[in-house]
Amino acid sequence: MRTLVCTTPGKFDYQTAEEPELQPGHALIKIKKIGICGTDLHAYEGTQPFFNYPRILGHELSGELIEADQAPGFEKGERVTFIPYFYCGTCIACRSGKPNCCTDIKVAGVHIDGGMVEYVSVPSYALVHGEGLSYDELALVEPLAIGAHGVRRAAIQAGEFVLVVGAGPIGLGIMEFARIAGAQVIALDINEDRLAFCRQNLGVNFTVNALSADVQSQIRDITNGDMPTVVIDATGSLKAINNGFEYMAHGARYVLVGLQKGEIAFSHPEFHKREATLMSSRNATREDFEHVIDSMKKGLVNPKTYITHQVNFDEVKDEFPNWLNPANGVIKAMVSL
């Protein structure tokens, strides 16, 4: 079978490999769609934390179930996606119902090879039913689940002002599920085209350009002087993350979904006087995947809104560098096999 390997930062090679054979407790999937995510782009750039080369990228995936062992309820030929965070099942996180942050987690396309292949083998426990969704829609479940998990971590209450920092694909998903939770969403980004996308396609009523001289005062005006009670970062930018502490209301929660390599810094007295809460949000759980699929089926989320570029597998090597250029307006590139 054909594979696409990121051999070093900035370099892809098409290679051939043996098709995987069915292993006990595993399932074989014929990949149909691959969504390109920020992790893939950062790996290509050489800026992704916890990453080694060579690596087969890809974990936003959908496909046809070819064969499975220990997968009751699943049938050959059905459309599926899967949860690409493979866990040990025995560590403190797994025992606490948080396999998304397993101490020995293996994320497909990051810690182990991913889905830029014709066929992939995954643990049967990771399978997710397609529920009548298209392959394109199913390939978008994982990135939207990341956003849904961050929103669930924030425990958003209806009517709260929620500031989402970063209007990339993950940030857009956070905005969607914050809206579904009843929040008044404020989008903050440096890209005016992305902010326009938020207004026109996601119904976000409040947008602020982070390059403005008066960001804090704009946010204060929007929130009637209170500042947001929830701030969620989806940038992975150290500067943006550190700035986010300035936008918190007293009693606010700050959720870090984006990941960067350095150390964050903030004023302890300012944080303390707010009795603020700082938390991270990593990956997603089956509950989040099911919430996303249910929201798609109910029409609360239109996944096709996100897909701006469609390419065939053979074109990825040549097209991939273009997706790094903001001028090309990429929200989500989708690869077909």
Domain extents for the chain?
2-140+306-336, 147-280
Helix (H) or strand (E) holding 154: helix 141-154
What average pLDDT does this structure show over 216-236? 97
- The whole-number pLDDT of residue 261 equals 82
Rounded Cα distance, 20 and 4, in Å: 15
- The whole-number pLDDT of residue 49 equals 75
What average pLDDT does this structure show over 95-118? 96
Q: For residue 304, is pLDDT > 90?
A: no
pTM of the model: 0.95
Q: What b/e sequence results for 229-246 when a residue is b if at least 16 CB atoms lie within 10 Å of its CB, and e otherwise?
A: bbbbbbbbbeebbebbbe
CB 210 within 8 A of CB 188: yes
Q: For residue 292, is pLDDT > 90?
A: yes
Rounded Cα distance, 121 and 19, in Å: 9
In CATH, the number for domain 147-280 is 3.40.50.720
Q: For residue 120, is pLDDT > 90?
A: yes
Rounded Cα distance, 96 and 89, in Å: 10
Rounded Cα distance, 123 and 82, in Å: 9
Q: For residue 50, is pLDDT > 80?
A: no
In CATH, the number for domain 2-140+306-336 is 3.90.180.10
Q: How confident is the model at residue 191 (pLDDT cuts 50, 70, 90)?
A: very high
Q: How confident is the model at residue 91 (pLDDT cuts 50, 70, 90)?
A: very high
Rounded Cα distance, 48 and 321, in Å: 16
